[in-house]
Amino acid sequence: MKQPQVVMIGLGYIGLPTAALIAQNKSYVHGVDTNPKIVDTINEGKIHIIEPDLDKAVAEAVSQGYLKASTTPVVANTYLIVVPTPFKGKNEPDISFVEAATKAIIPLLKEDDLYIIESTSPVGTTEKMMDLIYGARPELKTKLNIAYCPERVLPGNVMYELVNNDRVIGGIDEKSTKKAVSFYKEFIKGDLHETNARTAEMCKLVENSSRDVQIAFANELSLICDKAEIDVWELIKLANKHPRVNILQPGCGVGGHCIAVDPYFIVSDYPMESQIIGKAREINNYKSFWCAEKIQTAKLQFEINHGRKPSIALMGLAFKPNIDDLRESPAKYIVQKVLQNANNEDYYIVEPNIETHNVFKLTSYKEAVEKADIIAFLVAHKEFKQLNLSKDKVVLDFCGVIINNK
């Protein structure tokens, strides 16, 4: 392999597809991951994550010598940081992975290099990393190009969206922005929108917070309608007939590693100002708790009505329909909460997108629906929409599986 033009630090759901895409455009990419298993898998031309078309892209890039993985970085011209940014303690962002990745490349940097953070980051992270870099390498001050460019791809469609989505690119100065734009221009067809680093950082956080707030509105309506004895699904359908109203659908909470996480990056830094954003997080979390309580109440009611304990089907564990990802999943939280209150009832836990789970014993959705007295739909998986439920079942449809399919 020739000297790489690009070092990609972090070879996960975002870093690996991006590395493969850049390599497909005939730039030499040196991928770095701290996990040696991931490095070995990639060097064999294979992948460790599930993403359509990624296997082919990686196999091709590795076999043609444009992509190589390692646990340590090497000298290049462009460095991309795509490592995790989880939260810690009381919902505070943890940028230690970004810091560690940056420290690893500081000794390799030279004049005119381009350093880009793609990890979702709290506002000011790019400036903090600039200070870290120039603190260690003062001779390079103002001579590097430092920028932030967030990623907004949809898992499952990453290879298409990486190329075709618009991107927001913000440098710490004009020169850095221009340099980053000319880098992305090589492999992105979407429009590249120039701004500064702080705005680009906030833009990513605001996109996901906006989704969270809109879902919270729908979830709040579902709570109000339950008390007011109004069918929330019918209500939303009717309200959306207004030409300028577009209410989303309620569910049993909000999950995943983006929408359920990123708003905290704003709330943690701007607690007084981010009232709606913080409240939306609370509402979406509360909705999951409320669903678990509803199941508990239905259990007790069944016992009163029938003089025996019910059997219960808990339908879905994933954080959204038709995927196998359980990260930050409200459905998983509800199942855990319901099982904590178990009192000799039979439970059938269903997740059609995974074969086994290390904690829950899974049952097929058909068997669960046939055997259970109470059926609680937690995720609107496509399999559930085709079910014929007999009239004697108690159905708790938290995500519109039955109602929206009539």
Ligand X SMILES: NC(=O)c1ccc[n+]([C@@H]2O[C@H](COP(=O)([O-])OP(=O)(O)OC[C@H]3O[C@@H](n4cnc5c(N)ncnc54)[C@H](O)[C@@H]3O)[C@@H](O)[C@H]2O)c1
Asked if 155 is part of the footprint of ligand X (rule: CB under 6 A), the reply reads yes
Using DSSP's 3-state secondary structure scheme, residue 125 falls into helix
Closest CB to ligand X among residues 136, 239: 136
Q: Which of 149, 258, 291, 399 is catalytic?
A: 258
Residues 15-54 that bind ligand X (CB under 6 A): 15, 32-35, 38
Residue 134 beta carbon to ligand X: minimum distance, rounded to whole angstroms: 20
Residues 251-270 that bind ligand X (CB under 6 A): 258
With 0-12 / 13-18 / 19 or more C-beta atoms within 10 angstroms meaning exposed / middle / buried, residue 386 is exposed
Residue 199 beta carbon to ligand X: minimum distance, rounded to whole angstroms: 17
| Contact residue for ligand X among 10, 170, 171, 263 (CB under 6 A) | 10
Contact 8, 29 (CB under 8 A): yes
Residue 388 beta carbon to ligand X: minimum distance, rounded to whole angstroms: 35
- State the amino acid at position 5 in one-letter form: Q
* CA geometry: angle 330, 34, 153, nearest 5 deg: 45
Q: How far is CA 240 from the centre of its chain?
A: 27
Residue 265 beta carbon to ligand X: minimum distance, rounded to whole angstroms: 10
Write the CB contacts of 110 (distance below 8 Å, at least 6 apart in sequence): 75, 140
Asked if 216 is part of the footprint of ligand X (rule: CB under 6 A), the reply reads no
Active-site annotation holds for 279: no
Alpha helices in 137-196 (DSSP H): 158-164, 174-185
Binding mask 363-382 for ligand X (x = CB under 6 A): --------------------
Secondary structure of 349-406 in HEC code, one letter for each residue: EECCCCCCCCCCCECCHHHHHHHCCEEEECCCCHHHHCCCCCCCCEEEECCCCCHHHC
Active-site annotation holds for 371: no
Contact 376, 313 (CB under 8 A): yes
Q: Which residue is nearest to ligand X (CB)?
A: 12
Count, residues in the chain: 406
| Contact residue for ligand X among 6, 7, 8, 14 (CB under 6 A) | 14
Q: Which of 68, 179, 204, 287 is catalytic?
A: 204
| Contact residue for ligand X among 5, 41, 78, 120 (CB under 6 A) | 120
Give one DSSP letter per residue of 49-89, joined into a string: S--TTHHHHHHHHHHTTSEEEESS----SEEEE-----EET
Residues 78-117 that bind ligand X (CB under 6 A): 82-85, 97, 100-101
Asked if 13 is part of the footprint of ligand X (rule: CB under 6 A), the reply reads yes
Closest CB to ligand X among residues 11, 62: 11
Residue 120 beta carbon to ligand X: minimum distance, rounded to whole angstroms: 4
Give catalytic residues, as residue numbers. 204, 258
Binding residues for ligand X (CB under 6 A): 9-15, 32-35, 38, 82-85, 97, 100-101, 119-120, 151, 153, 155, 258
